[in-house]
Each structure stands twice: as structure tokens, then as C-alpha cells.
Amino acid sequence: MNQEEMSRAEESKNRILLAAAGVFSRKGLHGARVDEIAAAAKINKRMIYHYFESKENLYVEVLRYNLQKIQQFSQGAFVPGGDPVENVTRTLRQYFYFLAEDEEFVRLLSWEALNRGHYSSKLLPQLFHLFQSDLGQILQEGITRKVFRRDLDVGQILLSIHALCLAYFTRREMMQPIGSGNRMSGEMLEDRLNHILDLVFQGILNRPE
């Protein structure tokens, strides 16, 4: 395969992944049809099986592609030697707005939760590692500098932050009738983010006795 053929193949695979992400996010693995994905990608169905072999393999690759977005958004959030509070605030803000702006990612995680993480369980260690390598490093530096409590369980804090941010978007339609206003408006997103930040810092800051 020459360079031009490799380039065309890569472009076709990316087109399939993007189309499949849209279909899987709306219908889940079991509700999605390969014919529908092929039509959305404007590609022959046989090419999907050529590149990915099965609908299940394509679904796993869609999950992998989306989880890798975590690494992209987190780049630049951590400033080595910077103020730990500012680093946590910056990283959490970027993650929160990443979820706000990527409905496909949120819906894919929701489908996986309904299916007990059957496929994502193979990939979640990668996601957790990305959290731990960035936000975990920030928390550890804050502990070392005595800005954060020395008895912090970094793993538990990471899980709590993930849950606090993600739940707002996976449950927003169900919770919309409670209260007033559009929960995805700029004002309400900022209110929610500030509430999460307040909860997090109430739990992690090292307060003098």
C-alpha cells in the first residue's frame, strides 16, 4: 500500500468512526445498524467490516476514540510549580466544559452505564490513568506543599470529581423540570461549576486547626 492509499484508508476509517459515534450515541450498540452507519459515513458497508471486522469492534474503537479526548482537553491545564488551587480550578473547569460541549461523549458513557460497562471496562483503566496522571499529579503536589490535606485519598477525589461533573449532563433532561431556567445556559453552567468547585475545595483544602 503506497502513501496515497494509506492516506485514503485513514480518511475512510476516520469518517466511519465519526459517523458511528453519532449513531451509537443516539441508539446504543444494540439499536445501531451497520447500514445506517455506512449511509452516514457515505461509504460501502463492506468497508466497515474490512476495517473493523464487526459492529462490536467498531463500537469499542468509537469508545477508545472518545476516551482519548480526555487527554487532549487536559493538555495545558497543569502548570508545573503553579498554584495548586489554580491548577485544580483550571483542570476541573476544562473537564466540565468539555462535557458540556460534547454531547456524544456523554451519551456514549450513558449507554455504557446502562450496559454495565461491558465494553468500556476494557478502556476505563486508560481513562482513569489520564485523570491520575494530570489531576492526580496536581493533587499530589498540593499535598506536598501543604495546600491540600495530607490524608487525601487521591483516587477517591478523582472519582468524586468525575461523578460530580458527569452527573449534571447525564441527568440534565430528567432534572430540567426541577427549578427554572435552561440548565445548559452559560449562567447555569457557571453556577453549577462554581458549586462543584466549592464542594471540592471544602473537602481538600488544608485548613488550620
Q: Give the pLDDT confidence score for residue 183 in this predicted structure.
A: 77
pTM of the model: 0.83
Q: Give the pLDDT confidence score for residue 109 in this predicted structure.
A: 86
Q: What does each C-alpha distance from 29 to 25, 46, 52, 58, 116 come to in angstroms?
A: 9, 19, 14, 10, 13
- 97 has pLDDT over 60: yes
- Identify residue 131 by its one-letter amino acid code: F
Closest by CA position to 84, among listed 208, 207, 205, 209: 205
pLDDT tens-digit readout, 34-74: 999 999 999 999 999 999 999 999 999 998 888 878 766 66
What average pLDDT is seen over the chain? 85
